[in-house]
Structure 1
């Protein structure tokens, strides 16, 4: 096991070696590539479908005068108009699998506390879940998180109980707080402004996130096993650059 010193948090970060099924080589042998985009074109305006190739920006039409996605020399450069749109940039593409995931290359063009890359899966046809948010991986300046939203905080009953308690100035009910703690895992990670390859996979009730060939985080939760990941989705509140996306369905 490799040990990488994480000076930001002043604790060592132990990164497990990548498992075979978390590698691009394994995906190429055992999975089906259902989508690939190298972004080697120009965007067509600022609206929802401006990125092209099947991408849709759920927040672009809120602020049509602001360019939030710029295709530049094969790179998708996202600069979210979060304040103006009232929501982080939400960009998604059809996926359509039970088990599978995505391989992307990304970088943070600058470093501040607002830099977050959130990517994962959505099924708007799912009842009882806010906006169909299922599960995500989040890369922040100091941490990586895997979270099950379907059976966690995006579950409408869980949200109702939380919001009612907070509106009354109280605390989240103890049983709900205990439940939500089981729905995510967070590990330390030292982000930078270099390019990185990220693999995010769901296999059964397990989600795994690999960075540059190292398995960084893994977690098991019921929501990860949702039978239809209809959309692969980015949620970006500030700035992220992406230069390649491959979506894989595990056979």
Structure 2
């Protein structure tokens, strides 16, 4: 990482965490290894590598359109990964959606909600990074049902998520990069580092799948690429 970009990352961390950050706080950039997945949606239909859940998914004007059609759940487009550490890049436009989640799962992990491991949530006003393995465990989900344990839950999930204030124009395309290496997940938008989260659940040994979950209509994606990170 060049010095200006590293400075931006450190400054953002300081603003979000409320403490003075040092150069050592900013994660080193990941090195891309083997290409695990790529789709530029140049074909007229959604490729077989994508699994639709609570659809609909469609290729529209050379981009992937994901729209929520059922109120019970966000629309999901999922593809296989099969690696521990990854670099994920894609272009996105929020469109008429209220939010996009870019999620890594482990289908073999049964101790947490939906096998979720970690996510980056995108909305018009913020980016949210989360360690889902630790904050959405079955034990914690059960504790949330008891209002008397609210403080206990808050203590257990402290540090498992981070909100980064950022205005995202719903009608503009953005380039997103997500790097997951060890217990650190860092994000960049349009080539600029905007923040990172360090939390133990991120280091889960397998990310079997990656998916987009869309709330609302007409979120667009393009040039999705996933590499194994070195």
Give TM-score scaled by structure 1 length. Answer: 0.77
8 A Cα contact 2:66 2:77, kept in partner: no
Using the alignment, how far apart are the partners of 2:28 and 2:190 within structure 1? 14
- Cα displacement (A) at 1:243: 1.4
Secondary structure class of the residue paired with 2:103? strand
Map residues 105-144 of structure 1 onto 2, 5 A cutoff.
105-110=91-96, 115-144=98-127
Using the alignment, how far apart are the partners of 1:197 and 1:20 within structure 2? 20
Q: Does 1:212 align with 2:220?
A: no
Q: Structure 2 unaligned runs (5+)?
A: 1-6, 9-25
Secondary structure class of the residue paired with 1:82? coil
**Counterpart in 1 of 2:208?**
230
**Counterpart in 2 of 1:72?**
60
- Cα displacement (A) at 1:87: 0.6
Q: Structure 1 unaligned runs (5+)?
A: 3-17, 44-50, 61-67
8 A Cα contact 2:94 2:123, kept in partner: no
Map residues 30-109 of structure 1 onto 2, 5 A cutoff.
31-43=33-45, 51-60=46-55, 68-83=56-71, 86-109=72-95
The alignment yields a C-alpha RMSD, in angstroms, of 2.1
- Cα displacement (A) at 1:146: 0.3
**Counterpart in 2 of 1:183?**
160
**Counterpart in 1 of 2:21?**
none
Query: After the TM superposition, which parts of structure 1 deviate over 2 Å for at least 4 consecutive aligned residues?
Result: 170-173
Secondary structure class of the residue paired with 2:143? helix
Using the alignment, how far apart are the partners of 2:122 and 2:187 within structure 1? 10
- Cα displacement (A) at 1:19: 7.1
Secondary structure class of the residue paired with 1:150? helix
**Counterpart in 1 of 2:179?**
201
Over residues 197-231 of structure 1, what are the superposed CA-to-partner deviations in whole Å (9 max), with x where a residue is unaligned? 10111110001111001111201111100000000
- Cα displacement (A) at 1:108: 1.9
